[in-house]
Chains A and B, each alone.
Chain A
Amino acid sequence: MLAIRFRKSAPEGGRAVLPLVAGAPLPEGWAASTAAAGFRAGEGEVLDLAPGPLLVGLGTPARLLDWEKAGVAAALALKGVEAVIEARGLGAAEAAAMAAGLALGAWRFEVYRKTPAEEAPPRAATLLVDDPAAARAAWREVEAAVKGCLAARGWVSEPANVLTTRDFVRRLRGLARHGIEVEVWGRKRLAREGYGALLAVGQGSASPPRLVTLRWKGRLEAPPVAFVGKGIVFDTGGLSIKGAQGMEAMRADMAGAAACAGAMLALARRNSPCPAVAVLAIAENATGAASYRPGDVLRTGSGRTVEVIDTDAEGRLVLADALHHAVSRLAPKAVVDLATLTGAIVTALGHHRAGLFGNDGALAAALAAAGEATGECLWPMPIGERHREDLRSDIADLRQCQAGRFLPDASHAAAFLEHFVGEVPWAHLDIAGVDTQDEAHALGPAGATGFGVRLLDRWVAMHHEEEDHHPVAGAKA
């Protein structure tokens, strides 16, 4: 992460960055060129007056998110120099939000570059503020979520020959140094517990499946919130193999698990009082002699049997066992799962919103609000009676999906998952359209987004960090 400093006065060197609200007076000496360039300080507008200052437009900022986005825009526009941001006159929270944006925008995944890319982002940023101590305190509040998000982006970016199931688990064990308890179940334990769905998905790979449970104790005497993540380190589709084109993107098919782990890291880093657990279903969906087949019937950990129709609909299978594990073993007050689950959600909502499904209106509304606040936007989607009926099987308790074209597969997947959560308030975020972006966007550069980390962290902060804020809802499991 780029180094963030808060100072009262400008250091030597660096590029000056001037955030400008629409209608505010233009910087002295630059008014003419600014006007000539047609700069109106609109939201996301950037004008580089090199060697003079970089102007970043904010439009009419209404939320801290707008200041964050201005930070992102500045970081995306600056190349290889230290940024000196004029934040005097702003509140500590606005300055910290700018810092968060700078960090999100300056992130790059450069593990595998021998020489850094020419368009290198700034390595450090100094924010000029009236009260550095106050700004630093505000920054500490938001820094944790930024670091969690960047950690998730890093995991998602790693190629699948490096980030195998074992390697992912090794990295997750590293969370222990932040006070997170890490428990790992391998094949033997999974077999003993009867987690047949996760085992089946992972059985075709040389890299064995794992179920990882992360626990953050917090301080409150309350049942934990639970995050459940799909962690398919690579998805070939299995025997129902995917087309070659674009298959490389399937290294990101563990973005749900990465987001859950990143959110746990964020909670731990800012020492959240809220107890939280994360259950990550980690496997590689490979094609091989041992692969599971279309037509197979699996017995899940919950005892329900599932007829496999398409081995490329593997995410819902591993989540079935992970969700069951969360609700039956960890007594959560609410469960939120994140998964790059379906192509259908991309057709439905594109790359600007994730699909939000669930069984609890209040939980869904709270998550949607946290999404709007962090710029990780959701949109509610239905689980209808017809979707449920479509999953009836001739041979098992459930069929995994339907075969054919023009199918509401995102809703089918959600209707499938619903069977494994019982009565616990539950939400499912289908993040298949937002886990990576092809181009730079409002919250970062092209590549992994870390979508979900800041949303979950914010949701916990808004709803689960006060003793009596929310009564324990409906956790009957």
Chain B
Amino acid sequence: MPDIAFVKAALPKSGTLVVPIAEGAAPAGLFAQADQEAGGALARALEAAGFKGRKGQATTLWALGGFTKVVAIGLGKEAELDAAAAEAAGGALVPALAQDREATVLADALAAPLAASLGLGALLRAWRFDRYRTREKEEDKPKLERLAIATADPNAAKQAFAPMRAVADGVFLTRELVSEPPNILHPIEFAERCKGLEKLGVEVEVMGLSALAKLGFGAMIGVAQGSQHEPRLVVMQWKGAPKGRRGAKPMAFIGKGVTFDTGGISIKPAGGMEDMKWDMAGAGTVVGLMAALAGRRAKCDVVGLVGLVENMPSGTAQRPGDVVKTYSGQTVEVINTDAEGRLVLADVIWYAQERFQPRCMIDLATLTGAIIIALGHEHAGLFSNDDELASRILAAGAAVGEKAWRMPLGDAYDKQIRSDIADMKNVGGRPGGSITAAQFIQRFVNTKDGPMPWAHLDIAGTAWSSKDQPTVPKGATAFGVRMLDRLVAEMGEA
């Protein structure tokens, strides 16, 4: 990971230079100076190379004006230059600098917060997961160690960057958890890693099988019982509320953490099953979010709960046809053991309400294949019983480039999960498959004692990316960490 430094706006004499340029903008500031010293060669070369300054456009020039390399990065239209555009530019420069150890970005034309956003974009894109590579050739490894961002006000940029850095660390923690293979990251190991948040000041509590059995987490235990790894419930509390607001209800985040999902007895086909290591991305996102909030010392109380299980077929596994009793007391007929995420969430969500009486509740889960068929990979599915909460989530997501799309709920869909033998069954058929999954979860949102604003994010299509995006390398995306960090900032800290 490169070190991101903010330095005084001065033109280096040599080395690698990165120049962010808006669409159609004439050379200005330090870049104009560099171009002048090179006798106008830089601007001419960019024009010849067809560089227009379009968002994400990257053009590399070699050996001009005394520099080893000059990389021009498009910022897009000047009028639309916002944090997202600066982040995208920061992301776009990373692949262009794969073989450089150091580079200087001429960001003197950018306001300090935008210079910081550019640094954030670079950082987010530069992350990679190489723990299990033992023979990678030196030339294949990215080299970038230090990115110096030259800006008019380095102190202001540093200040703006500090909380971003904390959020990025949360993102990286999530990406790491999601990337870890399932033989390494089973529920017990996952819970151990959650303990790591204690050093940030998060209170972490881990409950094992006997505690869960005593509580009556019948649905979650049913999912876990086929695996040799015991289930874990991890409760994380960040108490950041300032004196005057202590005792206010916390916001609650709940994550599905199926560390590997074979489907259980309703076993999945072999093709693509390896992807099921990231069936814990909801939980991974909640853990990363807690790290982000604690890292930037968020000024409000937040609880995060993750239900960790492995869904395996075996002699002790749950069967289709089984009826389980959830912590809420409601019973569920298990029709398909591969619809296990909702069973885990049912118990954890009920517990979150009982214990914390949160002001609102948001759960994240790689819940259904149907949401990929509905929306694809650009939007997560958003279901909510509260229009205000839903629109705040949509807005927070749009602001950080983690987009959600509202999907419907309703009695007609709820009818699809009626059971002949229990209070409900765990699948409602193919039609509206993501909606009936959300209806199932909604049955565990307790509105008996007053409204309980709740939202469910189905991130099955967005937790993992098969291609590089400007600030997200392919693989684990950590979708949701930044969105919900923003949501907490706007709802809990404003």
Name A residues whose Cβ lies closer than 8 Å to a Cβ of B. 344, 346-353, 379, 381-382, 384-387, 390, 406-411, 433
Contact = CB atoms under 8 A, between A and B. Distances in A.
Given A347-B431, A348-B407, A406-B369, 15 more contacts: A347-B373, A347-B374, A347-B430, A347-B432, A348-B370, A350-B413, A350-B432, A350-B435, A350-B436, A352-B412, A379-B408, A381-B375, A406-B372, A408-B372, A408-B373
Contact of A385 (B372, B378, B430): B378
Contact of B373 (A350, A379, A390, A409): A409
A347 B370 CA distance: 6
B378 A386 contact: yes
B379 A384 contact: yes
A382 B379 CA distance: 9
A433 to B, nearest CB: 6
Contacts of A407: 372-373, 376
25 contacts: A344-B373, A346-B430, A346-B431, A347-B374, A347-B433, A348-B407, A348-B434, A349-B408, A350-B412, A352-B410, A353-B408, A379-B408, A381-B375, A384-B376, A385-B378, A387-B376, A406-B372, A406-B373, A407-B373, A407-B376, A408-B372, A408-B373, A408-B374, A408-B375, A410-B373
B232 to A, nearest CB: 30
A390 B407 CA distance: 23
Contacts of A386: 376-378
Interface string B405-440: 101101011001000000000000011111110000
Q: Closest 8 A-B residue pairs measured CB to CB?
A: A350-B432, A348-B374, A408-B376, A350-B431, A384-B378, A352-B412, A386-B378, A347-B373
Contacts of B436: 350
Contacts, number: 75
Contacts of B378: 382, 384-387
A411 B405 CA distance: 13
A408 B379 CA distance: 11
A411 B376 contact: yes
Contacts of A411: 375-376
Given A379-B407, A382-B405, A385-B378, A348 B416 contact: no
Of A346, A353, A406, most buried by chain B (CB within 10 Å of CB) is A406
Contact of B375 (A350, A353, A382, A433): A382
Nearest to B431: A350
A242 B419 CA distance: 31
A408 B376 CA distance: 5
A112 B372 CA distance: 42
A379 B430 CA distance: 18
B254 to A, nearest CB: 24
Nearest to A353: B408
A351 B432 contact: yes
A349 B373 contact: no
A386 B375 CA distance: 10
B interface residue count range (under 10 / 10 to 19 / 20 to 34 / 35 or more): 20 to 34
A404 to B, nearest CB: 11
A411 B376 CA distance: 8
B390 to A, nearest CB: 13
Contacts of B376: 384, 386-387, 390, 407-408, 411
Interface of B: 369-370, 372-379, 405, 407-408, 410, 412-413, 416, 430-436
Nearest to B469: A386
B147 to A, nearest CB: 28
Nearest to A348: B374
Contacts of A381: 374-375, 405
Contacts of A351: 431-432
Contacts of A346: 430-432
A350 B374 CA distance: 11
Chain B CB within 10 Å — which of A384, A387, A408 has the most? A408
Contacts of B412: 350, 352
A99 B369 CA distance: 43
Contacts of A433: 431
Contacts of B410: 352
A186 to B, nearest CB: 37
Given A379-B408, A382-B405, A406-B369, A349 B375 contact: no
A348 B432 contact: yes
A377 to B, nearest CB: 9
Nearest to A433: B431
Contacts of B431: 346-347, 349-351, 433
A379 B416 CA distance: 19
A350 B416 contact: yes
A353 B435 CA distance: 12
A409 B375 CA distance: 9
A437 to B, nearest CB: 11
Contacts of B370: 347-348
A379 B433 CA distance: 15
Contacts of B413: 350, 352
Contacts of B379: 382, 384
A350 to B, nearest CB: 3
A191 to B, nearest CB: 36
Nearest to A344: B373
B372 A349 contact: no
A170 to B, nearest CB: 34
A408 B410 CA distance: 22
Contacts of B374: 344, 347-349, 381, 408, 410
Contacts of B432: 346-352
B86 to A, nearest CB: 19
A446 B351 CA distance: 42
Contacts of B430: 346-347
A352 B407 CA distance: 13
A386 B372 CA distance: 13
B427 to A, nearest CB: 13
Nearest to B415: A352
Contacts of B377: 386, 408
Nearest to A406: B372
B214 to A, nearest CB: 39
Nearest to B428: A350
Given A382-B379, A385-B378, A387-B378, A348 B405 contact: no
A381 B374 CA distance: 8
B273 to A, nearest CB: 13
B268 to A, nearest CB: 12
A348 B407 CA distance: 9
